[in-house]
């Protein structure tokens, strides 16, 4: 992307957004992130990276983990303005601690057009957090794909294919190589230096200003640095 509207930004820099569609903090950050991308207005290349929060399993979520995640939902409601959760999920569904299927659904949606990536993320988050549906289940993901207008046969073929799994593992590896310690993560990559940016869950302007700081426009006191050697295909 070019530097439309922001000539001070360096177009060679890439802003990585590392996330997982079933990460509750990513859901809480979504309104601010949408506003930030609007404010950036194409001034810098943005690359979304699936971090892969929880690997495949068919086992029900352990009781202590359910308790911790419920507590996280309550914490988010208390500290992030306007974010609510439908706690019926915990009684209507059998929770499974597996987010890889939802991550693969993002990749399968992306295959039918980059515009479907964000649409599928929103669909998964709404299903999980608002409609008490379980995106760890393939039938939920297929239903969501149909709802957003995807070619279902093509979606299912990609979702269960080896190439989709390869791409997911590639993105997870990239998240690790970028030094992502949790989700969501905003990481600027300039040459071989990764800058981890602090973000604000309630104020898009604060997050936007920190991106500008990271680009060297303002002071860099809110930025931590990690020197990286990234694989060319990661």
pLDDT at 215: 83
Q: Are strands 45-50 and 14-19 parallel, antiparallel or unpaired?
A: parallel
Token digits for 9?
């930004």
pLDDT at 160: 95
* 3-class DSSP state of 60: strand
* 3-class DSSP state of 16: strand
Count of C-beta atoms within a 10 Å radius of residue 232? 4
pLDDT tens, position by position, 76-97: 999 999 999 999 999 999 999 9
Beta bridge mates, 49:
18
* 3-class DSSP state of 157: helix
Query: Radius of gyration of the chain from Cα atoms?
Result: 18
100-110 and 152-159 are packed helices; what angle lies between their axes, rounded to 10 degrees?
A: 130
Count of domains observed in the chain: 1
pLDDT at 192: 75
pTM value? Answer: 0.88
Domain contains 234: no
pLDDT at 3: 31
Token digits for 195?
């800058």
CA proximity to 5, closest of 45, 47, 42, 46: 42
For position 86, which CATH number holds? 3.40.30.10
pLDDT at 11: 47
Per-residue tens of pLDDT for the chain, all 234 residues: 323 334 344 447 899 999 999 999 999 999 999 999 999 998 889 999 999 999 999 999 999 999 999 999 999 999 999 999 999 999 999 999 999 999 999 999 999 999 999 999 999 999 999 999 999 999 999 999 999 999 999 999 999 999 999 999 999 999 999 999 899 999 998 877 888 999 999 999 999 999 988 887 423 333 444 434 333 333
pLDDT at 185: 98
Domain contains 2: no
Domain contains 8: no
Q: Give Cα 85 to chain centroid, integer Å.
A: 18
For 177, counting Cβ atoms within 10 Å of its Cβ (0-12 exposed, 13-18 middle, 19+ buried), the class is middle
pLDDT at 38: 96
Domain that holds residue 155: 14-227
């Amino acid at each position: 992307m070019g530097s439309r509207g922001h000539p001070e930004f360096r177009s060679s820099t890439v802003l990585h957004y590392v996330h997982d569609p079933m990460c509750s903090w990513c859901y809480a950050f979504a309104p601010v992130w949408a506003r930030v991308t609007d404010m950036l207005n194409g001034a810098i290349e943005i690359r979304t990276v699936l971090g892969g929060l929880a690997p495949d399993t068919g086992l029900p979520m352990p009781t202590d983990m359910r308790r911790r995640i419920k507590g996280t939902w309550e914490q988010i409601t208390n500290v992030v303005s306007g974010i609510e959760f439908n706690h019926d999920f915990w009684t209507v569904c059998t929770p499974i601690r597996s987010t890889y299927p939802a991550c693969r659904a993002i990749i399968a949606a992306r295959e039918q057009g980059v515009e479907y990536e964000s649409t599928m993320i929103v669909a998964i988050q709404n299903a999980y957090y608002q409609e008490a549906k379980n995106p760890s289940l393939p039938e939920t993901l297929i239903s969501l794909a149909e709802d957003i207008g995807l070619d279902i046969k093509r979606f299912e073929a990609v979702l269960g294919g080896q190439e989709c799994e390869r791409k997911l593992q590639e993105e997870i590896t990239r998240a690790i190589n970028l030094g992502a310690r949790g989700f969501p993560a905003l990481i600027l990559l300039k040459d071989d230096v990764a800058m981890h940016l602090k973000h604000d869950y309630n104020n898009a302007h604060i997050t936007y200003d920190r991106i500008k700081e990271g680009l060297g426009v303002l002071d860099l006191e809110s930025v931590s640095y990690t020197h990286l050697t990234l694989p060319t295909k990661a």
